[in-house]
A and B are shown apart, each in its own frame.
Chain A
């Protein structure tokens, strides 16, 4: 019942030649440091002993006494095998509670690792053994769900070997774990944002930037008019990231850009790169100048290969891409933060100590009225967007004509209150957009519309219910939530076991939110009918409306939240109860 369709028909397991290669060929510098444990174990294991400990880790001059797994940041890559039952014993040597959440893994809710939901956490000095059957394959990750530990080092990658080989075999296989590092303490960051929500934003519109804006807008008066409009709303068009490169060093496999993590290859080899965004607050735009990337997997599930030059990876998402460098030269893995205040960087090279050209960062995006939910005049969906139960594009195709229209649980537009400062008047479908800052940049950039599953979904039933949720927030007060309420003022979202529901997200804020539902798959309705991609984390773009289907097949209390850590912790969280 829990089996995912894509993995159920696989027969033999992939040849993991490359895992060994990665271990032995890593640069010495990379091996010496306690950081960046990105080595894929040669073989999978179903028994793991993991120790949560504080370790003093310095990166780019910023030292933290970080809670981490077995002494490294990221922690060890866990390699499992589909169909086996894994047993992971966690020893907590910290002076505080801890937990490990297996992000994107389908398992019994008591094993999901969210303290307070079907699990009591792991107290100091105690052990806890997680045991569950592995019913899926692909790239995932794990992280703490306690306090702010995830923001300061407690995370790592998971690779699950499929029962049948991956459709495209590769000679090399690397985990590319993107993250961020700062010696600013998470509690201080929250406190600073509470006092001044643009505390970390030093890229705002100023008198000095006016000439450039006037050039863009066509005239000074047009630029001033745009500014006035934003200022009338008490918001800023330059509000891209809450926490920025001012304090963050962006990391790739635990390496700062100047220590340059390197993966080796021989020209002509196919390389699988498993991108994981383990950052707390940063979206990355990833490209490898000079190489085409074939996107083959999203959030652990195979998709029809999409050739792209660039893709955006939201916090907690994973993408597997295949590249095949033909030349005997170094290629730069370039992951610039969405707000362009910094980048993570690594290298693919035929030999150690080579490095490719680092491209300049793109201009940072500027928010527009589309992000404020004012719609898009040339969008054909204008006429349907006000009807909450209307289905657009592909979803209509799934439904047999005779099926009754689903019951809609709709709170209506959110209130303007202490916890919410905006209503998206005309939210639009933005699954065809690569995201702010990536449109019309001359490169082929992945969009959600490109994602088409390799196999049809397992549950062909149409949804019997539609749950509409508004993503809301007050940037000025730095409060986040759904439907104008934070978690502590909300009830749970209740699903009946076995029920098929549609979730519809309307983003009333001007920021992207990576929305993550624990324990169940989220099948994105992006126009591909029954070939909907299965995901665990979905970026809701500002001013957008997006729907996905969920089969509530595992009972328990599940977390449902924005994966931007400080949004989650300040209210953008709900409990989903399946019973």
Chain B
């Protein structure tokens, strides 16, 4: 998180003078500074509408993952509705395998733009799949880090006093203008184990992929990928004890699409 950008918000209405010696006639004020009770247009008829709202949804992952040990289907997507500053977000992910839905996490978040590239987000997360349901309060950041990394970090606290966090990052390497290689990683961390949900304390699981997509249009891009998902540290031991797979590399087909 880039601190400079957060603090620059405070500078929004404070006026920073030039560093050179001020001449006596200089007034450090903007001619278009907002002033109360001065109308800038006729009542009810702004000449432009710069406070529009938009709706977009994107499936970053909508894919089938194949391996000799078993095939599964996974989605990871998000949608938002709102204005430049305020948005309502839904994030959804889940894995379907042999009729079982696992790793189903749904976030419902309010998002506030706070700097050039960063948004603060807060709301709830519900773990909804065939395991026991857990509910969490969520708070995090989402945005574009330096060097154009897409990044999301969310902290969670459950009604039982557990803490968790999820880190997600991705990067687009342009091989050509339509052929794009995207490494992506998602990490989940928990303070306490929750064996019923295959969750271990500490770094619990990782989901990562290297996707090569072709943008037929910006909004529709099929891809091939190599993906890996697996349990780490304590969760790794749980899985091994229960005779489950601890981690699998899979050959993957999918489509990235948005609307």
Contacts and interface: CB of A to CB of B under 8 A. Distances in A.
A386 B47 contact: no
Contact of B116 (A116, A389, A476, A570): A476
Given A408-B27, A410-B26, A483-B32, A114 B47 contact: yes
B47 A559 contact: yes
B177 interface: yes
A411 B13 CA distance: 10
A202 B178 contact: yes
In the complex, which range does the number of interface residues on chain B fall in? 35 or more
Contacts of B32: 469, 482-483, 485, 490-493, 574
A561 B47 CA distance: 11
A551 interface: no
A575 interface: yes
A224 interface: no
Nearest to B57: A195
Contact of B11 (A191, A417, A482): A417
Contact of B49 (A388, A421, A467, A569): A569
Given A411-B15, A411-B33, A116 B41 contact: yes
A229 to B, nearest CB: 10
A361 B198 CA distance: 60
A484 B40 contact: no
A234 interface: yes
Contacts of B12: 415, 417, 484
A155 to B, nearest CB: 18
Interface residues of A, number: 78
A195 to B, nearest CB: 5
B47 A418 contact: no
Interface string B40-75: 111001111111101010100000000000000000
B31 interface: yes
B30 interface: yes
Interface in A226-274: 228, 231-232, 234
Nearest to B58: A195
B216 interface: no
A575 B38 CA distance: 11
Interface stretch (B16-24, B128-136, B185-193, B202-210): B16-24
A206 interface: yes
A484 B27 CA distance: 18
Given A205-B174, A491-B40, A417 B115 contact: yes
Nearest to B43: A116
B14 to A, nearest CB: 8
Given A205-B174, A410-B26, A234 B146 contact: yes
Contacts of A191: 54, 56
A116 B27 CA distance: 31
A117 B117 contact: no
Contacts of B178: 202
Contacts of A121: 45
27 contacts: A118-B42, A191-B54, A191-B56, A195-B58, A196-B218, A207-B176, A231-B147, A234-B117, A234-B147, A234-B148, A386-B19, A387-B23, A388-B18, A389-B26, A409-B27, A409-B31, A411-B15, A412-B16, A413-B16, A415-B16, A421-B116, A467-B31, A485-B34, A486-B84, A488-B51, A489-B34, A493-B31
9 pairs of A and B residues whose beta carbons are closest in the complex: A411-B30, A116-B45, A116-B47, A206-B174, A415-B11, A416-B8, A116-B41, A575-B40, A571-B50
Interface of B: 4-5, 8-9, 11-12, 15-20, 23, 25-35, 38, 40-42, 45-52, 54, 56, 58, 84-85, 113-117, 144, 146-148, 173-178, 218, 258
